[in-house]
Amino acid sequence: MNRVFFFLTILLLGYHATAFGQTLDYKFQSLFVYNIAKYTQWSAIHSSGNLVIGILGNKSIAETFAKSYQDKKIGNQSISIVNYANAADIRYCNILFIPYSTKVDLDNILAYWGNKDVLICTEHEGWGLKGSTVNLVIVDGKIKIEINSASVKKAGIKIASNLTSLATVL
């Protein structure tokens, strides 16, 4: 457990922005989302079965996530990756990841999914304040995590203090 926490810390502090949000190689973002999931707790009804990560937009990003998570689990849950071509296609998922390259109206997504036990993870400057649960942004050339505490509470999920201590809490 300490090794994973150390690895997450190194990723958060040391990964440079040149590969983030400017490439379709989402291996590093998949690691961030995986570690965020490890430190998140959903309600009991959504803590069984597969942990579902929905990727909105580019199918190749979903494929990268699926390859990264092959044979991995979060607790006792296997991980399923689902690609949604557009916002109208979204069905239930534990995590909805909206890549930087995906153009979408966040307000519409938040209106429907914001209070439904879903962690909404984005990569857009300002979307943490706008209401995404977790926003991955670049500050001084490094990936930083923003956590919107009101959105966490509204969604009914819990994020461990190990993660919130490394993040900017809004």
pLDDT above 80 (res 18) = no
Mean of pLDDT over the chain: 85
Number of alpha helices (DSSP H) and beta strands (DSSP E) in the chain: 7, 10
Is the pLDDT reported for residue 16 higher than 90? no
d(Cα 6, Cα 22) in Å, to the nearest integer?
A: 26
Per-residue model confidence (pLDDT) at position 168: 87
Tokens of 37: 């999931």
Residue 88 region by backbone torsions, left for phi larger than 0, else alpha for psi between -120 and 50, else beta = alpha
Contact status, residue 29 vs residue 136, Cβ threshold 8 Å? yes
pTM of the model: 0.84
When pLDDT is cut at 50, 70 and 90, the band that residue 155 belongs to is very high
pLDDT given for residue 25 in this prediction: 64
27: which residues sit within 8 A by CB, 6+ positions away? 64, 68
The mean pLDDT value for 61-70 works out to: 94
Question: 40: which 2 tokens?
Answer: 């998140």
Q: Can you give the pLDDT at residue 2?
A: 54
Give the residue among 152, 54, 37 at the shortest CA–CA distance from 98. Answer: 54
Lowest-confidence pick of 13-17, 94-98, 115-119, 128-132: 13-17
Q: In 118-167, where does DSSP find H-type helix?
A: 127-130, 149-155, 161-164
